[in-house]
């Protein structure tokens, strides 16, 4: 993996526990599933998985920022922590997943790239639950995939992350593969 201790954290929007629990609920996680949280940040979604399922789910977290990746290890989440750039990882390096739960970086439309990459790592029958900006780029590139796959595009309350400084609206995207 690439050592990226010097990568500054992107503008970080921490997923509140209640929303993290909702995301995990929508993922329909079952015993034996392999799960990934790309761009894990503080690990909010992994913590929700552990609250709900204990140690019974095989979890992988990817985080580009070195100090944040170490923070994930320090939390004792019993997950494989990959310190690297999710977008540069290959299927051979990271594997495939039954479930992917994610709150990708929102800046500069990076959520689109992260979600599209995540879809390439889903096993047949897999499920992805992700937050994304509810903006023109996301509606152009992601919403057609959701509609084609008969997924769900659920708008969250306006300016959901306002208390964390976000000005954009956010949607919850749910896709079965």
Averaged pLDDT, 79-104 = 96
Averaged pLDDT, 88-104 = 96
Is the Cα torsion angle 44, 104, 40, 124 positive or negative in sign?
positive
Pairing of strands 80-83, 97-102: unpaired
Q: Which pLDDT belongs to residue 1?
A: 43
Burial 140-165 (b: 16+ CB within 10 A, else e): ebbbebbeeeebebeeeeeebbeeee
Its CATH architecture, for the domain 17-176, is 3-Layer(aba) Sandwich (3.40)
Neighbouring CB atoms inside 10 A of 34's CB total: 17
Q: With a cut of 50, say whether residue 2 has pLDDT above it.
A: no
Q: Which pLDDT belongs to residue 173?
A: 96
Burial 67-85 (b: 16+ CB within 10 A, else e): ebbebbeebebebebbbbb
Domain-wise residue ranges, the chain:
17-176
Q: Which pLDDT belongs to residue 30?
A: 94
pLDDT in tens, 136-171: 999 999 999 999 999 999 988 765 555 655 557 889
Q: Identify the weakest region by mean pLDDT among 11-15, 32-36, 58-62, 102-106.
A: 11-15
Q: With a cut of 80, say whether residue 38 has pLDDT above it.
A: yes
């Amino acid at each position: 993996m690439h050592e990226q201790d010097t990568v500054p954290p992107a503008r970080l929007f921490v997923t509140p526990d209640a929303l993290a629990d909702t995301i995990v609920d929508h993922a329909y996680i079952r015993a034996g599933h392999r799960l990934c949280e790309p761009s894990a940040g503080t690990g909010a979604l992994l913590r929700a998985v552990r609250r709900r399922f204990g140690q019974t789910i095989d979890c992988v977290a990817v985080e580009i920022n070195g100090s944040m990746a170490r923070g994930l290890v320090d939390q004792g989440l019993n997950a494989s922590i990959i310190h690297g750039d999710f977008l540069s990882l290959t299927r051979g390096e990271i594997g495939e997943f039954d479930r992917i739960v994610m709150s990708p970086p929102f800046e500069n439309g990076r959520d689109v790239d992260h979600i599209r990459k995540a879809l390439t790592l889903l096993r047949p029958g897999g499920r992805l639950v992700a937050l994304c900006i509810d903006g023109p780029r996301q509606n152009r590139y992601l919403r057609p995939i959701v509609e084609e796959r008969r997924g769900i595009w659920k708008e969250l309350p306006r300016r959901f992350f306002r208390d964390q400084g976000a000005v954009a609206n956010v949607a919850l995207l749910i896709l079965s593969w």
